[in-house]
Amino acid sequence: MGLENDQFKGRFILRKLYFDNASTSFPKPREVSESIFHYMTQVGSNINRGCYEQAYQVEETVYETRRLLCELFGGQDCKNAVFTKNVTESLNLLMKGYLRPGDHVLVSSMEHNAVMRPLTQLSQSGVSFSRVPCSEKGELSPEMLQAYLRENTKAVVMTHASNVCGTLLPVREVGRFCRANGLRFFVDAAQTAGVWPIDMEEMCIDALAFTGHKGLLGPQGIGGFLLREEMIPLLEPLISGGTGSLSHTEEIPDFMPDRFEPGTMNLPGIIGLHAGLLWLQKTGITAVREHELQLTGRFLAGLEPLENSGLLRVVGKKDTAGRTGVVSLQTPGQDISHVACQLDDAYGIMTRVGLHCAPAAHKTLGTYPTGTIRFSFGWWNSGDEVDAAVHALHKILEAGNGI
């Protein structure tokens, strides 16, 4: 189990099994690394700054990446797709660019620190927020929002799915609530972009923040956000500088995407993201989602005997309805860090253990301050790998409890 014969060295080696796709997807499609390598070794030029064919070709790829993102997320106009380093930078630019002292914001109790740390920082300058409680399964009832609404409430900022337990939040219903109450709706799509369908128009999303290195299958260090047209004048750019456009003036451009993209862009990252988006378009996000949920169901079924015997607790939902392929576990009677180390050392199984940068979510789920062991499945995981993980957990937990 997890062992392969190394014929060159005449011994057995441990084959690693990767179950940390909620942190970053791995492996990537071959086309991603190949496209980055080609750009770095055969092209290398900047965009918006060179009057030669090579630069124009790169610019065309960047434009095509914006178009693919707009098409995937139901955006209004591809010029309103802005590139950043990651979803955290995107959320900072959105919240700090829009909110003013005296404003009030609603968030769920399942938010990642990519939302909560910027809001906590903003609270020191007069922005307030209310945390709408979720259930112990991470579920949010949209009707709960009304009780926390104030006269100065300006926006709802919410994750699409929990990075801890995988529970989906009701984005469509919350978006309609925002539209009915004159609120702006900012969505953190870190865990769902590229796996779950997102339509900004249908879901009444004003600003969608995404990252490239998870479900979109791109490299680390590339992300962005998409805006509805009416949001553009409402956001104050937090970073300014050269854009290659309007070089005769020292004023910030008022047109998109230049208004929010000063300085040299992460072109290798954008080109890798472009390849990931093309792969997704060819494969289909429905196929990806169905595969991940099939693995999730298989994993949960394999854990039932351990949970029934009290050796393990599945956190959050215990079926595949309304969730992503993220499963968190606690191991009563055994330290979760020790179990995670045993999974890696003895079985080559890579997971993430701890609080996952989401203390509020763990408090909601009843797993704070201990945290959980998190398994997150991706396209390249197989049913046999899931069975290997279940087998390893049985061995470790039963041995640790003298069974």
pLDDT band at 324 (very low <50, low <70, confident <90, very high): very high
Banded model confidence at residue 1, pLDDT cuts 50, 70, 90: very low
CATH code, 3-19+285-400: 3.90.1150.10
What is the C-alpha separation between 252 and 233, in angstroms, rounded?
12
Write down the pLDDT at residue 220: 98
Are 95 and 234 contacting, i.e. CB atoms less than 8 angstroms apart?
Answer: no
- The helix/strand/coil state of 342 is helix
Q: Residue 120 corresponds to which tokens in the numbers above? A: 């906590």
88's CB contacts (< 8 A; 6+ apart) are 114, 211, 223
In the chain, where are the structural domains located?
3-19+285-400, 30-283
Q: Which fold has domain 30-283?
A: Aspartate Aminotransferase; domain 2 (3.40.640)
What would the pLDDT profile of 42-96 be if each residue is shown by its tens digit?
987 877 666 667 767 888 999 999 999 999 999 999 999 999 999 999 999 999 9
pLDDT at 243: 78
- Mean pLDDT for 241-251 is 80
Tokens read off for 361: 């979510």
**Residue 130: helix, strand or coil by DSSP?**
strand
Put the strands of the sheet holding 128-132 in their side by side order: 81-84, 223-227, 207-211, 184-188, 153-159, 104-108, 128-132
Instruction: Render pLDDT for 289-310 as a digit per residue (tens, 0 to 9).
Output: 999 999 999 999 999 999 999 9
Which phi and psi angles does 254 have, rounded to 5°?
-100, 10
pLDDT value, residue 8: 37
Could you report the per-residue pLDDT of 108-126, keeping only the tens digit for each? 999 999 999 999 999 999 9
Cα gap 196→298, rounded to integer Å: 20
The more confident residue out of 376 and 241 is: 376
Q: What is the pLDDT of residues 143-187, one digit of tens each?
A: 999 999 999 999 999 999 999 999 999 999 999 999 999 999 999
Which of 22-31, 161-170, 208-217, 238-247 is the least confident region? 238-247
Q: How many CB atoms lie within 10 A of CB 30?
A: 10
